Amino acid sequence: MILGRFYRSDRGGAFLLAGLFVLAVVVPVLNLAVPESSPFHLSTYTVTLIGKYLCYALLALALDLIWGYCGILSLGHGAFFALGGYAMGMYLMRQIGDRGVYGNPDLPDFMVFLNWQELPWYWLGFDMFWFAMLMVVLVPGLLAFVFGWFSFRSRVTGVYLAIITQALTFALMLAFFRNEMGFGGNNGMTDFKDILGFDLQADGTRVALFLASVITLAVSYVICRFIINSKLGRVIVAIRDAESRTRFVGYQVERYKLWLFVFSAVLAGIAGALYVPQVGIINPGEFAPLNSIELVIWVAVGGRGMLYGAVLGALLVNYAKTYFTAAFPELWLFALGALFVLVTIFLPKGLVGLWKRKRDTEP
Amino acid sequence: MYSFRKHSVFFSLLILLGLCGFSLPAVADFDAAVQALNSKSFSKKADAIIALAETGDEKAPVVLQAMLDSRLYYRKSDRRVVIVEKIDGGFRLADAATAQPLGEAGRRAVKKIGINNKLRGLLRDTLARLSLTSKDPAQRLAAAKIMLGNVNAATKPVLAEALARETDADIREVLETAAAMSDLENDDRTVRLRAVRLLDGSLEPEVRNRLNRLLEIEADQEIAAAVQQAIKSIEFKLKFNGFIETVFFGLSLGSVLLLAAIGLAITFGVMGVINMAHGELIMLGAYTTYLVQLLMPNHIEWSILVAIPAAFMVSGLFGIAIERGVIRFLYGRPLETLLATFGVSLLLQQLVRTTVSAQNVTVENPAWLSGSLEINAALSLTYNRLYILLFCLLVFFALMLILKKTSLGLQVRAVSQNRAMARAMGIRSKWVDAMTFGLGSGIAGVAGVALSQLTNVGPNMGQAYIIDSFMVVVFGGVGNLWGALVGAMSLGVANKILEPWSGAVLAKILVLVFIILFIQKRPRGLFPQKGRNAEN
């Protein structure tokens, strides 16, 4: 009954969840149960690649929530993603223990290299998984709260907000490039060994991380859909369409925006935390403004304000990126650039919008 | 005619003979002195050096310099003193006395004329003395500076003599400082006191070191107090000059920011179009400079002057193409404009990468842009930064003039204030849009020419400026050129003042954070637009 109602109210979402379910079943089976000699075997590399796309999809979902439904264009969402990733990276770094190049049981290699004597205070506690996970949620959330509280209270909107969020991620990138910050500087963190005692290179761990990504994406989708369909969601859409009117009706616009912004940042942080153990590295390049803008185009290509559009866009664009950068490395930036221009001019509602329009015109 | 020529030949021969007769002893002296440099003992060498300097021959400094640089050798076969130049597998020789080339020789055929530290000191003093009497003022000034703190009993009369003869005020000042420094060692306390007073406020680094040393050994209370006073005033002056230098660096950075932002102030400020490809238009201007220099490799001096209008045209045309091809479909949708122009920026970057090169290219600096303007011993301003500061102000006021005094400027302002009304008055608003955008883009190109003289030119150079430019425009107040000027200059100076105690990167972060906080407090910038226009 509930499923049927869900299908009728959100057909795209139902397809998405079904697709994710299929992925969750088929991919582990093809990777673990099918022998390597079989043509149906899925290599661990591919599993990790799909897992990476799913992390991007979660990030796109987070952006679509605030851009598509509340009209807040953040050009700095990559910063929250990277902060979540760094929190996870710090946990994985502590797990290396004395297996590093210098064999120091307490200090990560880069700190030994910099002649540091003891662990800085902000690294304390990261050897515990629960603490690291708490930080994955808290750090991006707190930054988003402080930033959003200042911005929304003084009614910084539209283009101005876009530019200062870009400045935010740029400033963070410059900061994380500094060795003195104690986050590995230019090289970031890598050479991770294991997570919760499981070897990161093992197929089983990879598949488990993949499953975690699928489940997180599906749960996040359902939560986002729930928020959008609730009364809260209606107020948020009202803010997007007529901010002043909503304010005059009596809603505290700033609170709604701030709440949604923080939630979106937390989702982005979780995406980053899932991303790092799968790709095995985190460095300040993740803060680059270009990454955050690319993220916006994923959402725009898929179709904003539809949630599943963002997921679709992230998967498609990233698959295209993997394909192009391998086959025609010269062409990728041309293709990406053209995508930006063409999608904004000809596909304001993205690919999903195109499909919907077609369906609406043929009754 | 014929007879005259015959006579003239005769006369010249006579003169030549006379000359030879007259100068032969001098040449002989010089030659003897040069050969004496190759004596066995160091004291004899010292005598030869003094004798050489006394001949007054103009080749003497060359020989002495060669000796100081360990390039003075003698040939083993005939013991002639030669000046050598290192080549592969041996030396190229020239006779020290006559400067005649003597061909090449192997390493074994010649032997170095050794010197010790005492001789080195003597050589330096002698060279300084010789150049103090040189005809070239620049050489005299350089020699005078060497004298600072190096005056001893032997050179003191030379200094007094040079001081009596010198007419150039700058050189006199240095010589007087040198004389005063040597007076600091005088036994007479009134002479010492006078010398300290004279040195008060001198910016030469040697003077400060010397005074600091004197402070430690000076027994006389009054002089010690005077020395302390002098050091204090020198340090104050140095601090002041350092401050001026910091401000200059700040203004220079500000002028770069302003150049990058000024085109944006037009397209974003006046038209309200977010052009993320602005940085790439700057990059195109820089590449135009590069191409112009490739086309006229023999006239690098003039290339910049050619590149300025060329870059204006190139970037301007690209700008018009972007406006006509992309932006005009997106008026009134600022966020979409932002994304589409970002796509354009990627296209332009890749275009440059595939057509020119993915690596940075070298743009040469014309000679008149290198070097520096020396204000005093503690402060010198480099010409390229100085010119760019002036150039940036020139561009700024030219743009101001265009917007305020030309009919295009009038139409631009009319369209930006009220599009519908402007159209009703018969202004072709679409044409004005294209022209305005072209103007802003063209100025970005001109900025690229200036930046090519300061930084690396590569496909990514535009990205470094885009965030800064937006910051300047937003900080200064959108739609306000004066705001951009004040914003750029204050951000530049703030950055450079923060730099010494926080490091360059942290200074940049602090400035960014400051702007982010500032925007929260005053969302419409330093100089917000007033009136009806401010509402939307």
For chain A, helix (H) and strand (E) counts, in that order, are: 15, 4
Q: Do the Cβ atoms of A263 and A139 come closer than 8 Å?
A: no
- Shared domain for B451 and B343, answered yes or no, is yes
In a domain, B515, yes or no: yes
* Residues B205 and B345 both lie in one domain: no
- Secondary structure of B141-186 in the HEC alphabet? HHHHHHHCCCCCCCCHHHHHHHHHHCCCHHHHHHHHHHHHHHHCCC
Residue B235 domain flag: no
Residue B86 backbone dihedrals phi, psi, to 5 degrees: -70, 130
The beta strands (E) that lie in B422-499 are given as none
Q: In which domain, by residue range, is B149 found?
A: 133-219
Chain B, 443-472: which have a CB under 8 Å from a chain A CB?
Answer: 463, 467, 470-471
* Phi-psi region at A249: left, alpha or beta (left = phi > 0; alpha = psi -120 to 50): alpha
What helix, strand, coil percent values describe chain B, rounded to 5?
Answer: 70, 5, 20
**Judgement on whether residues B167 and B37 belong to the same structural domain of the protein:** no
Mean pLDDT of A16-23: 90
- Return d(Cα A355, Cα A301) in angstroms, integer: 12
Which band of pLDDT confidence, cut at 50, 70 and 90, is reported for residue B154? low
**Average pLDDT in the B132-153 region?**
73
Quick check: B508 contacting A, CB < 8 Å?
yes
Residue from B331, B335, B468, B510 whose CB has the most chain A CBs within 10 Å, to mutate: B335
Q: Is B73 helix (H, G, I), strand (E, B) or coil?
A: strand
Residues 6+ apart with CB under 8 A from A109: A100, A101, A102, A191
pLDDT band, very low/low/confident/very high, at B195 (cuts 50, 70, 90): confident
Question: Does residue B236 lie within any of the structural domains?
Answer: no
Tens of pLDDT, residue by residue over A164-174, are 898 889 889 98
Contact flag B508-A340 (C-beta cutoff 8 Å): no
Q: What is the pLDDT of residue B510?
A: 84
- B19 falls within a domain: no
Residue B169: inside a domain: yes
Residue B343 and residue A337: Cβ atoms within 8 Å? yes
Total of domains in chain B: 3
Residue of B nearest to A152 (CA): B520
Test A174 with B508 for CB contact under 8 angstroms.
Answer: yes
Beta-bridge partner residues of B112: B73
Q: Which two tokens stand for residue B8?
A: 């003239």
Taking the C-alpha atoms of residue B9 and residue B16, their distance in angstroms, rounded to an integer, is 10
Q: Is residue B127 part of a domain?
A: no
- pLDDT for B416 equals 81
- Angle, CA of A334, B311 and B451, to the nearest 5°: 85
Task: pLDDT band for A85, please (50, 70, 90 cuts).
Answer: very high
Q: What is the CATH number of the domain that holds B503?
A: 1.10.3470
Same domain, B386 and B482: yes
For residue B185, give every residue at least 6 positions away whose Cβ sits within 8 Å of its Cβ, in sequence order, or none. Answer: none
Instruction: Quickly state the pLDDT bin for A224 (edges 50, 70, 90).
Output: very high
The last residue of a domain, from among B75, B94, B118: B118
Query: Is 70 exceeded by the pLDDT of residue A1?
Result: no
Q: What is the pLDDT of residue B26?
A: 59
Residues 6+ apart with CB under 8 A from A333: B346, B347, B349, B350, B353
Most B CBs within 10 Å: which of A172, A336, A340, A347, as the mutation test of the B interface?
A340
Q: pLDDT averaged over chain A?
A: 88
Nearest-CA distance B99 → chain A (Å)? 57
Measured distance CA(B451)–CA(B258) in Å, rounded: 11
A341, A342, A346, A347: which to substitute to probe chain B, counting the most B Cβ within 10 Å? A341
CB contact under 8 A, B521 and A345: no
**Taking a C-beta distance cutoff of 8 angstroms, is the pair B274, B341 a contact?**
yes
Residue A345 has its nearest CB partner, among B340, B350, B523, at: B340
Interface size between A and B, measured as CB pairs under 8 A: 114
Q: B161 and B80 share a domain?
A: no
Residue-wise pLDDT for A124-160, tens only, equals 888 889 999 999 999 999 999 999 998 888 888 777 8
Classify residue B428: in a domain, yes or no: yes
- Looking at the structure, tell me whether residues B31 and B113 fall in a common domain: yes
Shared domain for B112 and B140, answered yes or no, is: no
Specify whether B66 is located in the same domain as B196: no
Write down the pLDDT at residue B17.
44
d(CA A88, CA B363): 45
Confidence (pLDDT) at B22: 45
Chain A residues whose beta carbon lies within 8 Å of the beta carbon of residue B354: 330
Q: Which two tokens stand for residue B373?
A: 């303007």
Is residue B424 within 8 angstroms of chain A, CB to CB?
no
Residues B483 and B509 in one domain: yes
| B200 and B161 together in one domain | yes
| Stretch 354-373 of chain B: residues touching chain A, C-beta under 8 Å | 354
* Structural domain contains residue B507: yes
B66 in Cβ contact with B52 (< 8 Å): no
Q: Are residues B161 and B103 both part of a single domain?
A: no
Assign B271 to helix, strand or coil: coil
DSSP conformation class of B365: P
- On whether both B333 and B451 belong to a single domain, the answer is yes
Contact A113/B at CB under 8 A: no
> Exposed (0-12), middle (13-18) or buried (19+): which is A360, by Cβ within 10 Å?
exposed
| Contact flag B471-A171 (C-beta cutoff 8 Å) | no
Instruction: Tell if the CB–CB gap between A344 and B344 is shorter than 8 Å.
Output: no
Q: What is the ipTM of this complex?
A: 0.81
A79 and B CB contact within 8 Å? no
Nearest Cα residue in chain A from B516 = A164
pTM, rounded to two decimals: 0.76
What is the tens place of the pLDDT at every residue in B366-423?
888 777 777 776 777 888 888 889 999 999 999 999 888 999 888 988 888 888 888 8
Cα separation, B187 vs B183, in Å, equals 9
